[in-house]
A and B are shown apart, each in its own frame.
Chain A
Amino acid sequence: EPEVTQTPSHQVTQMGQEVILRCVPISNHLYFYWYRQILGQKVEFLVSFYNNEISEKSEIFDDQFSVERPDGSNFTLKIRSTKLEDSAMYFCASSESRGGTDTQYFGPGTRLTVL
């Protein structure tokens, strides 16, 4: 069964450093997403991406965040200058977007720890 993959599984960084989280969405999917979950809290939407541009973003997704599809398979989330409060699990998801219902399939996540 096709699945979304994410690397690394765990990233530790110092406050102020840049991090790039990587995702490989399911191959025939057209919509890509990032969500995050701070420990013990709800899963929160960050951004959706379609046709090489952001289609929706939440208030969390400020200028410190950016997304990119650098090639035909990868989808990345960059945090420019990490803060302590960016520590969370980051989940990538993808969906087919063929009309009608469009189920999002999530990856296993990257645990980001900012020290």
Chain B
Amino acid sequence: LAKTTQPISMDSYEGQEVNITCSHNNIATNDYITWYQQFPSQGPRFIIQGYKTKVTNEVASLFIPADRKSSTLSLPRVSLSDTAVYYCLVAPGSARQLTFGSGTQLTVLP
């Protein structure tokens, strides 16, 4: 399993763009990068998944450089309700056993 490293915490202000970077130096050829969001006492919520280059959906963008050794989750114009823990997971696309790390605690300030 590829080990991931992401910041323990980040602060931002409402309306700003937030970028959370995850390092995964030993990512395997068949691994995908998936980001989840978790609010206190709630289940992880899928945000976005990608394999290479850039993926965008209605919630976020995911930037993956050519070497795939890192990835950046970009949240445009965050609000207070985006305060949550964000997890970067690297695993084969059909992985059954997801391994969550400690994630990044994002705090959005008014």
**Could you tell me which A residues sit within 8 Å of B by CB distance?**
4, 31, 33, 35, 42-45, 48, 55-56, 58, 89, 91, 93, 97, 99-109, 111
CA distance A111 to B100 in the complex (A): 19
Q: How large is the interface on B (under 10, 10 to 19, 20 to 34, 35 or more residues)?
A: 20 to 34
**Could you tell me which B residues sit within 8 Å of A by CB distance?**
32, 34, 38, 41-46, 49, 87, 93-102
Determine the chain A residues whose CB is within 8 A of the CB of B43 once the complex forms: 4, 91, 93, 106-109
CA distance A44 to B99 in the complex (A): 7
Complex A-B: 25 CB contacts under 8 Å: A31-B96, A33-B96, A35-B98, A43-B38, A43-B44, A44-B100, A45-B99, A48-B97, A89-B41, A91-B43, A97-B94, A100-B93, A100-B94, A101-B32, A101-B93, A102-B95, A103-B46, A104-B46, A104-B98, A106-B44, A106-B45, A107-B43, A108-B43, A109-B42, A109-B43
